[in-house]
Structure 1
Amino acid sequence: MPSSAFRTVPPTADTVIIGGGVMGTSIAFHLAEAGAKNIVVIERGELAGGSSGKPIGGVRAHFSDPLNIELGNRSLRAYQEFPCRPGTDIGLDPVGYLFLLTTEQQASDFETSVGIQNSLQVPSRMISPDEAKRLCPYVSTDGLVAAVHSPTDGHARPGLVVQGYARAAARAGVTLATGTAVTGVDTAGNRVTGVHTSHGPIACGTVICAAGAWSAQIGDMVGVDLPVVPVRRQLAFTAPLTPRAPRIPFTIDFSSTAYFHNSDDGLLFGLADPDQEAGFDTTWTPGWLELFRAAARDRAPALADMKTVGGWAGLYENTPDHNALIGRSGELSNFLYATGFSGHGFLQAPAVGEVVRDLCLERETFTDITPLSADRFRQGAEIRPEAHIV
């Protein structure tokens, strides 16, 4: 990983990016590729040491509103091209996504979403329970009303993506300051003037907050409200399976939020615990697996008693409507933010890197991201909430 723990940081920078995860490194890569100079990425630990090192790796364009669909679809294309640009194998496996639906209302809602997706060139489709079982033999059709299959979606390895962006950014001259905490931000009038770090101050022209679950704290330093709340999410890995698991889609039981997909020589299990309290705790507690096993007994019975061999916990960076915060502060003209992705940051990172690059360089973005402004909550202009699953 092309990063260094600095005793001091550069005294000046044109752009300081706070956060060395997938979002921060994507922004750094896209800015450097566009010719921007004097970029510093500040990361208090190691690159991908926060939430970016622990997502489930799903990549999809299956969303319910056009803006999220566009961000997901553009990012999916970027991930398909990643071995050429920036030039790293990220373990992309286009197995598709499979949503399992158990009520007529779910089927109706997803049919509407599929219509929007198809109009934006996303080849998702409604399928029957029997076809869902053919795609994923673990599925029980009892109680299933319908399913949705997005064949071009899949999953990749987030750590490899961060490494790929970081290496390319470093080759272009970006300074990656790991082991460096942000301790304060200076402002004068309506502008940020500098960032204080554990290894020295940096006078700068632009600050970009890509601090994930920790973004509200950065916002507080400059008086900008970034309503991001950390929530623990946990997953587990099965023991190696003999015979090997069939190659299956990323499969999600929409009612329970239980999900599973292939992972090396076994399967990965996950579920969004509805009773999980907010906070920065990332302790893995195997007890949550009982929630997954209970859901699996109904929807994928063979999974319910599979042996697991550990797992991990990471943080979602949730906003009130489970949609991202992307934009430029109205109070501080040179303070930008890309955060609050509510579990969707990895899959949207390439497209958001392009958007923030263009915001920073004062160029027109490829899509209108105004609906994702942090100001929407105080203005009451929330866009439709996304289902908070994976």
Structure 2
Amino acid sequence: MTQRQLTGRKGVACLSSSAFRAVPASADVVIIGGGVMGASTAFHLAEAGVKDIVVVERGDLGCGSSGKPIGGVRAQFSDPLNIELGRRSLRAFRDFRHRPGADIGLDTVGYLFLLDSDEQARDFETGVGLQNSLDVPSRMISPEEARHLCPYVSTEGLVAAAYSPADGHARPALVVQGYARAAARAGVTLATHTAVRGIDTAGDRIVGVHTSQGRIACSTVICTAGAWSARIGDMAGVDLPVRPVKRQLAFTAPLTPPAPRIPFTIDFSSTAYFHNSDDGLLLGLADPDQEDGFDTTWTPHWLELFRTVARRRAPALAELRTAGGWAGLYEVTPDHNALIGRSRELPGFLYATGFSGHGFLQAPAVGEVMRDLYLDREPSTDVSPLSADRFRHGADTRPEAHVV
């Protein structure tokens, strides 16, 4: 036997751990990571009748990457696999009030991508054709139509835009809470403030997980640890090439008159984005010079990057007063596609991580996939191209690159 050791505002909230049970001595399944992916996986497993499930989370549920995403939900991707994961998840978000039973603040305002080159327009036109063939109601629109949908937009320099009315945004913390509470009602143990210290293996079998609250004997581990997944993989001897990258956003002060109801709007070239949030707007942009790391200190000076873009693309936003913000972590893989699958060398180790900013919006569908992989059923969506094995030398399982 071996043991590999490794010694808010706007709907951002962590689920209290006061009602959660202690770590049991044994379980059938240990899910590592209590964010949206872990909560969704736990819910779908429990719904399918799987017993003795433990979710292990080092803090409160939803306080890692899941507590701080931008909340976008969409199916506008440029490859069939990501389109299907997004489309199935959109359907689940629309039905969330009934299954698992929670209000998640879903606002179906659409997604609007602003395009400023002929090359971008051609790429998105190809993507829209593929999306339409898979029943996604996206369409290419003119700059003038984009401005009609979002009055903040300046059409100067725009070539075209892509829009899907079925997309929108929801409250990530409410999604985590909805899944977690339904899972707990079904008997899942939610072990918060419990750190994973090591994973025991015997040959090609998992036999236990060491935590700060004691050892859990188990035969299956599902890694949904987000930006921390590489560390968990190392404990089991499984290579999960995930790196953490800080992303920041801000909220405007309350707006008078109120902001118009607008789509989730993205300037594709710069990555700047904005959408409605309570009494103002949420603003964000990916800093291209951001170094890898686990630091989540909010540094407001990045806002000047957003304002520089806004002066060109949405001038009215450039000088809006902000009222705070926060930073979270993207879990990024080398090709910016997720890692979903089962380890070949250690079959009891499954993983769903590395979503590179798409984890929240794909969580419902991926929870279904993880349920099916655990039960040795054929998933409704073939995720084999997302296996971590694709990064092995000579592997031919790489998914298609996607531009959105």
Shorter-chain TM-score tier: over 0.9
Which residue matches 2:401? 385
Which residue matches 2:7? none
* C-alpha distance in structure 2 between counterparts of 1:250 and 1:234, whole Å: 17
Instruction: Choose from 103, 113, 119 the match for 1:99.
Output: 113
Which residue matches 2:104? 90
| Displaced runs of 4 or more, over 3 A | 1-8
Which residue matches 1:175? 189
* C-alpha distance in structure 2 between counterparts of 1:380 and 1:46, whole Å: 39
CA drift at 1:9: 1.4
* C-alpha distance in structure 1 between counterparts of 2:365 and 2:17, whole Å: 24
Which residue matches 2:140? 126
Which residue matches 2:6? none
Which residue matches 1:150? 164
CA drift at 1:7: 9.3
CA contact (8 A) 2:331 2:356 kept: yes
* C-alpha distance in structure 2 between counterparts of 1:7 and 1:170, whole Å: 9
1:369 aligns with 2:387: no
CA contact (8 A) 2:137 2:164 kept: yes
* C-alpha distance in structure 2 between counterparts of 1:385 and 1:301, whole Å: 33
CA drift at 1:381: 3.7
Kindly, what percent of the aligned residue pairs are identical? Answer: 78
Which residue matches 2:53? 39
In the alignment, structure 1 segments of 5+ residues that lack a partner are none
| Matched residue type, 1:193 | V
1:347 aligns with 2:361: yes
Which residue matches 2:273? 259
CA drift at 1:220: 0.4
Which residue matches 2:75? 61
CA drift at 1:382: 2.4
* C-alpha distance in structure 1 between counterparts of 2:105 and 2:22, whole Å: 35
CA contact (8 A) 1:5 1:180 kept: no
CA drift at 1:385: 2.8
Alignment of 1:63-78 (within 5 A): 63-78=77-92
* C-alpha distance in structure 2 between counterparts of 1:6 and 1:236, whole Å: 32
In the alignment, structure 2 segments of 5+ residues that lack a partner are 1-14
Q: CA RMSD in A?
A: 1.2
| Matched residue type, 1:180 | T
Which residue matches 1:311? 325
| Matched residue type, 1:35 | G
1:225 aligns with 2:239: yes
* C-alpha distance in structure 2 between counterparts of 1:95 and 1:160, whole Å: 18
Mean CA deviation greater in 220-229 or 374-383 = 374-383
| Matched residue type, 1:346 | F
| Matched residue type, 1:26 | S
Instruction: Choose from 312, 315, 326 the match for 1:301.
Output: 315
* C-alpha distance in structure 2 between counterparts of 1:204 and 1:46, whole Å: 23
1:112 aligns with 2:126: yes
Given the superposition, is the C-alpha separation of residues 122 and 304 from structure 1 closer, same or farther in structure 2, using an over 3 Å criterion?
same
CA deviation map 1:101-155 (0-9, x unaligned):
0000000000000011000000000000000000000000000000000100000
Three-state SS of the structure 2 residue aligned to 1:346 is: helix
CA drift at 1:334: 0.7
Corresponding pairs, count: 388
CA drift at 1:8: 5.2
| Matched residue type, 2:72 | G
| Matched residue type, 1:20 | G
* C-alpha distance in structure 2 between counterparts of 1:192 and 1:63, whole Å: 36
* C-alpha distance in structure 1 between counterparts of 2:199 and 2:19, whole Å: 20
* C-alpha distance in structure 2 between counterparts of 1:206 and 1:162, whole Å: 22
Instruction: Choose from 111, 134, 154 the match for 1:140.
Output: 154
TM-score, length basis structure 2: 0.95
Which residue matches 1:244? 258
Three-state SS of the structure 2 residue aligned to 1:13 is: coil
* C-alpha distance in structure 2 between counterparts of 1:168 and 1:132, whole Å: 40
* C-alpha distance in structure 2 between counterparts of 1:2 and 1:354, whole Å: 25
CA deviation map 1:161-189 (0-9, x unaligned):
00000000000000000000000000011
| Matched residue type, 1:263 | S
* C-alpha distance in structure 2 between counterparts of 1:177 and 1:285, whole Å: 32
CA contact (8 A) 2:33 2:56 kept: yes
Which residue matches 1:358? 372
| Matched residue type, 1:384 | E
TM-score, length basis structure 1: 0.98
Instruction: Choose from 273, 285, 297 the match for 1:283.
Output: 297
| Matched residue type, 1:36 | V
